[in-house]
Every structure is written in C-alpha cells, then in structure tokens.
Amino acid sequence: MIRINLLPRKAVKRRSRGELELLVLLLVLVIEGVGIYLVWSSISGKVEDQQRENDMKRAKITAIKEDIKDHDAIKTELSEIEAREKIIQELIAGRTGPVQVLMELSSILSQNGGPSVDKEWYQELLKRDPSAGYNPEWDSRRLWITSFTEKDREVELDGEAMSNEDVGELLRRLKLSSYFFAETLVRTAEAKTKDSTVPLIEWKIRCKVRYR
C-alpha cells in the first residue's frame, strides 16, 4: 500500500525541532536535579560530621566538668593547709629565731668576728664600694651593749662606745648582716659616767630583725 505524506515539509521539521528542544530541556532538568542532589548530599554529610564533632566536644566538656566539679573545694583546702603551714613556720621561727639573732649579735661583737653575709655578694659589694665593708681588725671591746629589747621583730639596742667611729662600725655590721635590716641610728651623746675618766659615747640604734 502506498502512503502519501500530505503534511508540509516545514511542519515536519518544526515538530522534530520541538521534540529535540523538549528532550534537551528534560536532560537539563535531570542534570540540575542530579547536581542539586549531590550538593544536598554533600551539605548533609558535612552537617552530620559537624553534629558528631559537636557531640564529641559536648561529651568532653561534660567529662571535664565532672573532673573539676570539686576544684573550688580542693583550692579552699589547699589554702587552709598553706595557712596552717605558715603558722607552724612562724611558731618555729618564734621559738628559735631569738636565739639565732643573739648568736648573730654575739658574732658581730666578738673579736675577729663579723656579720653573717653572702660571700659572693659581699665581694661584689667591695668591688663597687670598698668603704661599704666592715673592718675585720676592729677591736670590739671598744663598744658594748647595755640594753637589748625586741618586740614584734623590732629591736632596740642601747649601749656605750669609746667613739662615734665605733658606733659607726657596729651600724655598718648590722647593715651587712642577713639577720638585721632597716637600721637607724637614733642618737649619740656624751655619756654621763662619773666613775670613768675616759669620755664615752652613749648610743641608741633601732632596727628590724628577720628570723631565718
């Protein structure tokens, strides 16, 4: 049987072109859909990874909070222990300190004696200022103490000396001693002693003491 195409040739071409454009549009939509799905899948994966990481961090924070929940109590207990230790050390120093100070004072006033001082520091001091050192040949019998009082680690010394230079030597030794600090010469005056034919100097020194 013979078929005859009675449609115009241009109409056939137009229909074929429309079908092709529709096919291309469908293909583009499919590609866009696949792209959107891939992007969504990637974002969903990242969100899930971030959520897992956040969950892990929350778990760590919870564990840390559990570990340090008694931190304040421990800190308070340590402070109390340190305070008790300080009191104990002060009691020990209060018991042995005065003896050490008196022994230091005895050494300062002994023949061929001197103050307790760090040797390296003392040598550096002499290099900077030779006049700052004490005189090792000083005759300590030229000065004596008539009164020693100590209250709340503040010391007051009274005594007599042959000269103001002897008082200066004592003051210099006290300044160098690791037991005494904040030394102050309160006064010097001619001693009113009737029995002595040699003029004497009365003196008073105040200083503070550190127990080692």
Per residue in 106-149, pLDDT (tens digit) is 999 988 889 999 999 999 999 999 888 999 999 999 999 999 98
Q: 108: exposed, middle or buried (C-beta count within 10 Å: 0-12, 13-18, 19+)?
A: buried
Number of helical (H) and strand (E) elements in the chain, helices listed first = 4, 4
DSSP code for 212: -
pLDDT recorded at residue 88: 46
pLDDT recorded at residue 81: 65
CA dist 60 and 66 (Å) reads: 10
pLDDT recorded at residue 91: 46
Boundaries of every domain in the chain: 96-209
Q: Name residues of the chain where pLDDT drops below 50.
A: 6-7, 87-88, 91, 96
CA dist 7 and 18 (Å) reads: 16
The answer to whether residues 211 and 153 touch, using CB atoms and an 8 Å cutoff, is yes
Model-level pTM greater than 0.85?
A: no
pLDDT recorded at residue 139: 92
pLDDT recorded at residue 168: 94
pLDDT recorded at residue 54: 80
pLDDT recorded at residue 199: 84
